[in-house]
Chain A
Amino acid sequence: MITRPIFLLGSLGILLSAFTGCNKSGGDTILIGEFASLTGKEATFGTSSHEGTILAIKEINAAGGVLGKQLELKTEDDQSKAGEPANVVNKLISKDGVVAILGEVASSRSLEAAPICQENGIPMITPASTNPKVTETGDYIFRVCFIDPFQGTVMANFAANTLKAKKVAVFTDVKSDYSKGLAKFFKEGFLKAGGEIVAELDFNGGDKDFKGQLTAIKSAVPDAVFVPGYYTDVALICIQAKQLGLNVPLFGGDGWESETLVKLGGDAVEGHYFSTHYAADAASPKVTAFVDAYKKEYNGKVPDCMAALGYDSVFFLVDAIKRAESTEPAKLRDALAATKEFEAVTGKVAINENRDAVKSAVILQIKDGKFKYLETVNP
Chain B
Amino acid sequence: MDWFLQQLINGLALGSIYALIALGYTMVYGVLRFINFAHSDVLMLGAFSAYFLAPAVEKIIPLPSIAGALIIVLLSAVICAGIGMLIEFLAYRPLRSRPKLTVLITAIGVSLFIEFTCQHPAVLGADTKSFPRLLVENDLHLGGLVIGSNDLVIVATTLLLLAGLWFIVQHTKTGTAMRAVSFNQQAAALMGININRIIAFTFGLGSALAAVAGILYAMKAPGIDPLMGVQPGLRAFVAAVLGGIGNLPGAALGGLLLGLLETYAGGTPGLSNYRDGIAFAILILILLFKPAGLLGKATVEKV
Contacts and interface: CB of A to CB of B under 8 A. Distances in A.
Interface stretch (A84-92, A202-210, A359-367): A202-210
A41 B126 contact: yes
A157 B150 CA distance: 38
Contact of A201 (B3, B11, B262, B272): B272
B272 A219 contact: no
A200 B10 contact: no
Interface residues of A, number: 35
B221 A208 contact: yes
A212 B232 contact: no
Interface in A179-215: 199-204, 206-209, 211-213, 215
A243 B130 contact: no
Interface stretch (A26-34, A66-74, A232-240): A232-240
A208 B223 CA distance: 8
Interface string B255-268: 00000001111111
A216 B269 contact: yes
B282 to A, nearest CB: 16
A7 to B, nearest CB: 38
B194 interface: no
Contacts of B7: 212, 215
Contacts of A208: 217, 220-221, 223, 228, 231-232
Contacts of B263: 209, 211-212
A209 B14 contact: yes
Contact of A202 (B231, B262, B272): B272
Interface in A221-235: 232, 235
Given A208-B220, A215-B267, A239-B222, A244 B231 contact: no
Given A211-B10, A212-B11, A232 B267 contact: no
Interface in B167-198: none
Interface in B235-260: none
A212 B267 contact: yes
Contacts of B144: 245
Interface string A34-69: 000001110110000000000000000000000000
A212 B221 contact: no
Interface residues of B, number: 41
A174 interface: yes
A208 B43 CA distance: 15
A212 B262 contact: yes
A39 B127 CA distance: 9
A337 B114 CA distance: 48
A260 B127 contact: yes
A38 B228 CA distance: 21
Given A208-B228, A212-B10, A236 B267 contact: no
A263 interface: yes
A202 B268 CA distance: 10
Nearest to A209: B14
A236 B2 CA distance: 23
Contacts of A220: 269
Nearest to A44: B127
Interface in B1-42: 2-3, 6-7, 10-11, 13-14
A174 B232 CA distance: 19
A264 interface: yes
Contacts of A43: 126-127
A244 B11 CA distance: 14
Given A218-B6, A245-B141, 10 more contacts: A201-B272, A203-B266, A204-B276, A208-B232, A211-B267, A212-B263, A212-B265, A219-B3, A244-B146, A260-B128
Interface of A: 39-41, 43-44, 174, 199-204, 206-209, 211-213, 215-216, 218-220, 232, 235-236, 239-240, 243-245, 260, 263-264
6 contacts: A40-B126, A209-B10, A209-B221, A209-B263, A212-B266, A245-B146
Q: Which 10 A-B residue pairings sit nearest by Cβ, starting from the closest?
A: A212-B266, A208-B221, A212-B267, A212-B263, A211-B10, A216-B267, A202-B273, A263-B130, A219-B3, A201-B272
